[in-house]
Amino acid sequence: MKCAIIYSSRYGNGKKCVDVVNEQLKKKGHQVQVINAQEADPKKIPEADLYIFSGASEAFGIAAGIKGYLKNLPSMEGKKFALMSTHRMKKAIALNKMDKLLTSKKKMAKVAAIDFRVEGEVEQGKGLPSDYKNSLREWVEKNL
């Protein structure tokens, strides 16, 4: 399967999750392309069997680094997506908003989602729970 992981990450917490999922998908024999949303044109999104979008909650919404990318995607009707997100507050705001945007507006089909609440040295990219790698590997194995 061809997978495209499209992400934004200000402090690196989300990028760490992307790296684990990338590695695990490749271990399963899938082809993976990792794209930084801030350096990419949504109109040139590559063809893939599964799109994985990853972005944090920011200002009670989707992180600016990926929000514009998602909003400007071309028609993606029926294409499969999975979501990853991190957030400091209790609710996974960005995850829910990305889900809504891609499902309702872009008519994509959700496969799975995972989120982590960060704490501690978040600005150093060290806010993830200690078992995040295993959680992500398990998530990939069970869902993707």
Ligand X SMILES: Cc1cc2nc3c(=O)[nH]c(=O)nc-3n(C[C@H](O)[C@H](O)[C@H](O)COP(=O)(O)O)c2cc1C
Site membership for ligand X, residue 83 (CB under 6 A)? no
Q: Give me the 46-65 binding string for ligand X, x by CB under 6 A, dash otherwise.
A: ----------xxxxx-----
Stretch in the footprint of ligand X (CB under 6 A) among 20-28, 38-46, 71-79, 84-92: 84-92
CB of 131 to ligand X, least distance (A): 16
Site membership for ligand X, residue 9 (CB under 6 A)? yes
Site membership for ligand X, residue 10 (CB under 6 A)? yes
User: CA nearest 42: which of 67, 14, 74, 12?
Assistant: 74
Q: How many residues bind ligand X (CB under 6 A)?
A: 20
List of residues contacting ligand X (CB under 6 A): 9-14, 56-60, 86-89, 93, 118, 122, 125, 127
